[in-house]
Amino acid sequence: MNNMNDMTSHVIDPQVAVAAAVLYGNLRNREVLSADVSFSDNLYEVIIHSEWMDYDCYVDASNGEVLGFQSTPVEEYRLGARAHETVLDLVCRLLLEKKKENLNDITQCEATFQV
């Protein structure tokens, strides 16, 4: 017969806690830049960093249930905002930079496969 200590000592893997937070937040894996995990009082706190948002999530360490989830926009200094830029200017600039990167990737790919 199991004693009570055996039943309460079961703790899920931290990677399972991160996966639960990603699923709960309906995030795609490619959106996640990094994740920080801490453990206290049978709870994992999972902080997920994406390009635009930070997500703070609490996951029950015994069963993987998400108990709390909060999102916060990324601070401007992490986005590389310039002093004169409005938020709209910043978003447009970042989207254009992303588009240029994608065009460069396509051009390099086409050059590789040309015969």
Instruction: Identify the pLDDT of residue 110.
Output: 55
| Binned average pLDDT, 10 residues per bin, the chain of 115 residues | 51 93 90 92 94 92 94 72 64 78 61 55
pTM of the full predicted structure?
0.59
Instruction: Identify the pLDDT of residue 106.
Output: 57
Alpha helices in 33-86 (DSSP H): 76-79
Instruction: Identify the pLDDT of residue 3.
Output: 47
The residue type found at 11 is: V
Instruction: Identify the pLDDT of residue 4.
Output: 44
- 49, 40, 44: which is closest to 16 by C-alpha? 44
